[in-house]
Amino acid sequence: MGQLVWIASYPKSGNTWIRAFLHNYIRQPDAPYDINRLTDLTAADTNAERYHRYDPRPASQYTIADVQRMRRLVHHDLTALDSTLVFVKTHNAKLQVAGAPLITPEVTAGTIYIVRDPRDVAVSYSRHRGRSIDDTIAFMADAEAATGGTDAKVYERFGSWSEHVHSWTSSSDPRVHVVRYEALVNAPEATFGPQIRWLGQEPPQERLSRAIRFSAFGVLRAQEQVDGFKERVAESTGPFFGTGQPGHWRTVLRPAQQAQIERDHGTMMRRFGYL
């Protein structure tokens, strides 16, 4: 039985990028790892199939309390996937809901948490949701924001963008390795390398460079253009991998939209250098 390493983030903040890097680093393929096989090494904690062991009904019939009752059991099941560390993707905030944690502490070894400028998140997430930017800005400020509740995906609670970031980064826990999305873009070796060191290895330079090259944003985008990406949802109005460039919001957001995000999340944005 292993322990869980959470790959955690608010949606559209670089979670998939980290997962692609880890697959390319750990598996050392001869060509970039298939983005449609990113579940080979990273499980998802909202996959409804994992909950059917404890409740065979269609997952869309589960209440939030039902999911929270089973979540700890599912997290324990995930530890059986490997004898050491099990990587698990999550967009859940680190909160208590219906009397139970969204992240089960006793099976947790640590977390890689990715944070991204919420102005860029708003642009990317609106395209992913198939909703307007104004609707997405409001969603990102909603303390009750959540998704899931379908037959494929159980309840997943975000809270507001600020609450999400605060829930994962407010304490100085050495088991939480915080990564800024912008650093992944601007200084990849100086950002991806420490992730491997945090996991307990000194990465060989050639292996690290190759994994970074194979998981470069342009490579991921090109794979999606050729083969599609199964994690892109039906309601999306564009590709899963957009421009990927920090500051893209400057060409998209109206001044009023920018100001609203900064009012909603100014405290946390200042903490991470976005204001």
User: How does the average pLDDT of the chain come out, rounded?
Assistant: 95
Query: 110: domain range?
Result: 3-271
**Quick check: 1 pLDDT over 80?**
no
pLDDT of residue 269: 98
Residue type, 237: T
238: left (phi over 0), alpha (psi -120 to 50) or beta: beta
Question: Strand 146-147 and strand 156-157: pairing?
Answer: antiparallel
Task: Say if strands 146-147 and 3-9 run parallel, antiparallel, or are unpaired.
Answer: unpaired
Q: Give mean pLDDT, residues 97-111.
A: 97
Dump pLDDT digits (tens) for 64-103. 999 999 999 999 999 999 989 999 999 999 999 999 999 9
Q: Could you give the number of structural domains in the chain?
A: 1
Please tell me the distance from the alpha carbon of residue 67 to that of residue 140, in angstroms, as a whole number.
Answer: 23
Strand 108-115 and strand 176-180: the pairing is parallel
DSSP labels for the chain? --EEEEEEESTTSSHHHHHHHHHHHHH--SSPPPGGGTTTTEEETTBGGGGTTT--S-GGG--HHHHHHHHHHHHHHHGGG-SSEEEEEE---S-EETTEESS-GGGEEEEEEEE--HHHHHHHHHHHHTS-HHHHHHHHT-TT-EE--SSSB--EE---HHHHHHHHHSS--TTEEEEEHHHHHH-HHHHHHHHHHHTT----HHHHHHHHHHT-HHHHHHHHHHH--TTS-TT-SS-SS----TTGGGGT--HHHHHHHHHHHHHHHHHTT--
Q: What is the pLDDT of residue 171?
A: 85
CATH assignment at residue 81: 3.40.50.300
Q: What is the pLDDT of residues 120-143, one digit of tens each?
A: 999 999 999 999 999 999 999 999
| pLDDT at residue 6 tops 80 | yes
